């Protein structure tokens, strides 16, 4: 859908963020705080519960015979989760877009175009990727005895919590993974419940070319926690996978009460640049100082820092 040539470093950041964000499809359902579904099964014996069978949502099952001690993560969201569950000491390399935490061993490895030879050069015993079209990467690494764990972007909040638990189990930190999942879910639920339901409309900007999200997305589900109405839901919310491209005219015509910018770091967008767009100074959100700059990374990753993103939305709604 986005036939870019090889990007420059700054452009590469923008491209990577879009590629990670746009495929997120959501089934609009937020489960309550019931017992989390088990996403893996440990075999008898083995080191610290290993061998373990992992069943990630939307990806092939993987069996890990031993606790991985040399992990390569090519997914920024998963990199953050690895450190949160206590597996940071097991991480030997991460992709160029894994900017958090700072101590993560960043390399020039690409999560968008994984190079099996470059990955193997880090002597991993587990490689984690976001996608593996036709299993080509897994096949290549399997020849060296290295298992590949594919962890796609979760389609719902509940699936994100389950992935935290799965990462914990895959790395020998099952209890920590479960506790992380429960903590993040509890904090997000509390933020939503303690924020006034204002019944306001909003526009979430993924890119200055007016790509946005509908309610049929992972991000849209978060906004729904606050009772917000998405201006992009007109028509089919599932069109373009829930990440349609609007026009400036349509956005001005919809006159959202709130505007959220998830293209601040990549593209320099802020309340001032929005107000300078032709006709946008007439919008309610602009006139009432309701244009909110988000952290690009927090608004595009399904990491434990989701809580910070949700808090940003909560603060914006409370201010409106």
Q: Among 125-129, 177-181, 241-245, 301-305, which stretch is predicted with the lowest mean pLDDT?
A: 241-245
Q: How many domains does the chain have?
A: 2
5-36 pLDDT, tens digit per residue, is 223 334 444 444 444 444 433 322 223 333 45
- Within this chain, do residues 314 and 229 fall inside the same structural domain, yes or no? yes
Q: Are strands 62-64 and 52-54 parallel, antiparallel or unpaired?
A: antiparallel
CA 147, CA 63: separation in Å to the nearest integer?
8
> What percentage of the chain reaches a pLDDT higher than 70?
85
Which CATH number do you get for residue 136? Answer: 3.40.50.1980
Residue 271 lies in a domain: yes
Of 275, 219, 229, the residue nearest 252 (C-alpha): 275
- Within this chain, do residues 200 and 167 fall inside the same structural domain, yes or no? no
- In the predicted model, what is the mean pLDDT of the chain? 86
Residue 26 lies in a domain: no
Q: Does 39 score more than 70 pLDDT?
A: no
Instruction: Tell which of 160, 190, 220 closes a domain.
Output: 190
Residue 276 lies in a domain: yes
- pLDDT-derived band at 96 (thresholds 50, 70, 90) equals very high
Residue 274 lies in a domain: yes
Residue 24 lies in a domain: no
- Within this chain, do residues 223 and 272 fall inside the same structural domain, yes or no? yes
Q: Does 123 score more than 90 pLDDT?
A: yes
Q: Does 130 score more than 80 pLDDT?
A: yes
- Within this chain, do residues 50 and 173 fall inside the same structural domain, yes or no? yes
CA 35, CA 158: separation in Å to the nearest integer?
11
pLDDT at 35: 45
- Within this chain, do residues 72 and 176 fall inside the same structural domain, yes or no? yes
- Within this chain, do residues 46 and 181 fall inside the same structural domain, yes or no? yes
Q: Are strands 201-207 and 291-293 parallel, antiparallel or unpaired?
A: unpaired
pLDDT at 140: 92
Instruction: Tell which of 143, 166, 190 closes a domain.
Output: 190
- The range of the structural domain enclosing residue 115 comes to 9-15+37-190
Q: Does 314 score more than 60 pLDDT?
A: yes
- pLDDT-derived band at 47 (thresholds 50, 70, 90) equals low
| Residues 111 and 129 sit within 8 Å (Cβ to Cβ) | yes
Instruction: Tell which of 156, 190, 224 closes a domain.
Output: 190
For 101, the token pair is 């935490």
Residue 20 lies in a domain: no
Residue 25 lies in a domain: no
Task: Write the secondary structure of the chain as one string of H (helix), E (strand) and C (coil).
Answer: CCCCCCCCHHHHHHHHHHHHHCCCCCCCCCCCCCCCCCCEEECCCCHHHCCEEECCCCCCCEEECCCCCCEEECCHHHHHHHHHCCCHHHEEEECCCCCCCCCCCECCCCCCCCCHHHHHCCCCCEEEECCCHHHHHHHHHHCCCCCEEECCCCCCHHHHHHHHHHHHHHCCCHHHHHHHHHHHHHHHHHHHHCCCCCCCEEEEEEECCCEECCCCCHHHHHHHCCCCEEHHHCCCCCHHHHCCECCHHHHHHHCCCEEEECCHHHHCCCHHHHHCCCCHHHCHHHHCCCEEECCCCCCCCCCCCHHHHHHHHHHHHHHC
- Within this chain, do residues 169 and 278 fall inside the same structural domain, yes or no? no
- Within this chain, do residues 65 and 162 fall inside the same structural domain, yes or no? yes
61-92 pLDDT, tens digit per residue, is 999 999 999 999 999 999 999 999 999 999 99
- Within this chain, do residues 108 and 163 fall inside the same structural domain, yes or no? yes
- Within this chain, do residues 46 and 67 fall inside the same structural domain, yes or no? yes
pLDDT at 213: 93
pLDDT at 4: 23
- Within this chain, do residues 303 and 250 fall inside the same structural domain, yes or no? yes
| Residues 18 and 207 sit within 8 Å (Cβ to Cβ) | yes
- pLDDT-derived band at 296 (thresholds 50, 70, 90) equals very high
Please state the rounded mean pLDDT for residues 287-295: 97
pLDDT at 151: 97
Please state the rounded mean pLDDT for residues 247-271: 97
CA 103, CA 100: separation in Å to the nearest integer?
8
Please state the rounded mean pLDDT for residues 146-172: 95
| Radius of gyration from C-alpha coordinates of the chain | 20
| Residues 206 and 243 sit within 8 Å (Cβ to Cβ) | yes
| Residues 212 and 247 sit within 8 Å (Cβ to Cβ) | no
| Residues 244 and 221 sit within 8 Å (Cβ to Cβ) | no
- Within this chain, do residues 123 and 222 fall inside the same structural domain, yes or no? no
Q: Does 113 score more than 80 pLDDT?
A: yes
Q: Does 147 score more than 60 pLDDT?
A: yes
Residue 221 lies in a domain: yes
| Residues 202 and 260 sit within 8 Å (Cβ to Cβ) | yes
Q: Among 34-43, 125-134, 162-171, 178-187, which stretch is predicted with the lowest mean pLDDT?
A: 34-43
């Amino acid at each position: 859908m986005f036939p870019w040539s090889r990007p420059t470093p700054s452009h590469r950041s923008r491209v990577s963020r879009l590629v990670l964000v746009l495929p997120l499809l959501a089934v609009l359902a937020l489960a309550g705080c019931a017992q989390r579904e088990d996403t893996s099964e440990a075999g008898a014996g083995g080191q610290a519960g290993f061998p373990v069978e992992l069943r990630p949502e939307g990806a092939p099952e993987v069996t890990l015979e031993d606790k991985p001690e040399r992990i390569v993560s090519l997914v920024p969201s998963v990199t953050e989760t690895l450190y949160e569950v206590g597996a940071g000491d097991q991480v030997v390399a991460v992709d160029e877009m894994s900017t958090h935490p700072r101590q993560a061993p960043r390399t020039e490895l690409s999560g968008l175009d994984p190079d099996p030879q470059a990955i193997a050069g880090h002597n991993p015993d587990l490689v984690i990727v976001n996608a593996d079209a036709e299993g080509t990467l897994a096949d290549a690494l399997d020849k060296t005895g290295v298992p590949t764990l594919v962890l796609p972007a979760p389609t719902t909040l509940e699936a994100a919590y389950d992935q935290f638990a799965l990462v914990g189990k895959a790395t020998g930190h099952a209890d920590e993974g479960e506790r992380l999942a429960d903590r993040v879910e509890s904090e997000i639920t509390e933020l939503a419940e303690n924020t006034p339901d204002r019944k306001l409309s909003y526009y979430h900007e993924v890119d200055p070319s007016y790509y946005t999200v509908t309610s049929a997305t992972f991000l849209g589900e978060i906004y729904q926690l606050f009772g917000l109405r998405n201006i992009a839901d007109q028509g089919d919310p599932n069109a373009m996978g829930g990440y349609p491209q609007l026009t400036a005219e349509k956005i001005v015509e919809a006159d959202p009460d709130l505007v959220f910018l998830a293209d601040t770091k990549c593209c320099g967008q802020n309340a001032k640049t929005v107000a300078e767009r032709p006709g946008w100074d007439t919008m309610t959100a602009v006139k009432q100082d309701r244009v909110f700059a988000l952290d690009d990374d927090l608004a595009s990753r399904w990491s434990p820092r989701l809580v910070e993103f949700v808090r940003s939305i909560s603060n914006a709604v409370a201010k409106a």
